[in-house]
Structure formats: structure tokens, C-alpha cells
Structure 1
Amino acid sequence: MRQKLLLVRQTLLFLADNPCSEGIMRQRLLLVRQTLLFLAENPCSGGQSEAKVIIGEETLLFLAENPCSEGIMRQRLLLVRQALLFLADNPCSEGIMRQRLLLVRQALLFLADNPCSSEVMRQTQLLVRQTKLIVLFASLMGENDHFTGGIVRTAS
């Protein structure tokens, strides 16, 4: 499993380093989506959970650094939503929870910086609602109020 996660991480880094046309961008996003689905379907130990969160963070950074058409933007937002759902469905230690919340915050900042169609805006609002649920879950787990408060402000 560790080798699989390392291979996936290398794949994402390779994609991030190779700018390409919009047609290739679609293939990239499909690959990233398949990666997240693969990770979501493969439960693993705490150490591998950390690797999952790191891969999720790199995925969002990759998406944020690659401007694309409105059609691709829809795929981006769906992918970000799936990444957050993946994180929400994978219980982990308090240390990993902090990384999750930082990832959620980065996702919201990414969405805020990328104007898009009204249809995608509706998806964004759903994402914000789900994020608030993740923050609520974190506060129930005893996460720092100042930390979670910052994410709620970002989500609002």
C-alpha cells in the first residue's frame, strides 16, 4: 500500500511539472479523480492516512496552479468536493485532523479565487455547507476553537 501511495504521489508531481493543452488537462483531472477514488476505497494505517492527506493537499495545489476553461473548472470543483468528502469519510488522529482542516481551508480559498458559472457556484455553496459540518465535527473532537473559527470565517 505504501508503494502504491508513493507511486500515486509521484504521478501527481509528474503531472504538476508538465504543462499541457486543455485536452491533456482533462486526462490529468480524470487521473487525479481516479487517484482519489482509489485512495478512498483502500483503508490503511495511520501512517498511510498521513500520506493520503499529503496527496490530497498536493492535488489541490496542482489544480490551483493550472488555469483552465469553464468546462474544466466544473471538473475541478467536483474533484475538490470529492477530495473533501474523501477526507471527511476517513477518521484519523488529531494531528491528521489539523492537516484536513488546513486542506479544507485551501480548497475554499482556491474556490474563492476562481470565478465560475452559476451552476458551479451552487456546487461551491454545497461544498461550504459540507465544510462547516467538517468543522463542527472537528470542534466536537476538541480541536482548537481559534483554528476552526478561522475556517468558518473563510467558508462564510
Structure 2
Amino acid sequence: MSAKLLKYTLVYFIQGEITKRIKIGQTNCTVEERMRRLQTGSPDKLVLLGVYLGFEYSEIKLHNMFGQFRLHGEWFSPEKEITDFIKNKCLSNTTALYYVYHEIEKGNMSYEEALALGEEELCRRSDEQFLEILEKMYTNSGRRAVGCGEERTAPFALLD
């Protein structure tokens, strides 16, 4: 199965659980697909720290910006400057990320506006939007769509 290509490039930050090294890379497929591909070749368990969706910083610009912390290739030591960037400029929740991605694509929101809202609010809005779609789909079925809230194990549950 081929990966879904995205219109915009995502710059991701992943970290080896044992080595604590941080990889700064980019992808045009989903973050989950990229993580799967990277995990296959890594002896260390990889963890997603965050994804940058803005247009100010490219992968190359970030590599240059954090160049003094480069260990080799796209791998960097976990310095405060990098972790602060992730904390302040990235999204770590993929539900929030894909909601923002689509809102930017539709021209409804800028990345800066999304960051100001925070991931919890973005996830709430994503759930609300998804439930509205489900309600429309199930209007004629007599079933009611209900969100999962904090568990986020599935995007929705259907109740009779």
C-alpha cells in the first residue's frame, strides 16, 4: 500500500527512547507512515515529539539553526533550544495536527492561530467537527454519534 501524499510538507521531531537523540526530518506522507518506516530501521524505539506545520522554518533552516547540536546526519543532541522550539512551535497530538492541516488548507486558520488555541482546544474542535459529520451521516439511521473525549482510542462511538 502506498503512503498518502500530503500537499504541505510536515517537519517532524522524533526521539530515540534510549539514546534521547532527536531526528529533525520532513515528510509529505502522514506522520504515522513516516514513523513506521523509520522504526523499521531503528534499534531504538522512536517517539514523536512534535510536528511543525508552519511555513517559516523548513527542515534545512532548522538543521542550520540547531547545527551546533548536530551529532550526525539529521540527528541532534536533545538540547534545551531544540526542546523549547518543539514546545513552542510544534504540535505533538496528531488529531490536532491533522485538524489544523485541513483548516489551513481550507483557509480557515493560520498555523500561528492554531498554536495560540492550544492542542486541547484543537482536539475539541476536531471532535466537534467529526461528530457533526457523523450526525449528518446517521440522521436517517436512528443512531446517535458520541465522541470519545479523553480516551481517544477511536475517533467516535456509535450508540443506539
Over alpha carbons, which structure has the higher Rg?
Answer: 2
Q: Which has the higher contact order (CA 8 A, sep 6+)?
A: 1
Fold shared per TM-score above 0.5: no
Shorter-chain TM-score: what band? under 0.3
Larger strand percent: 2
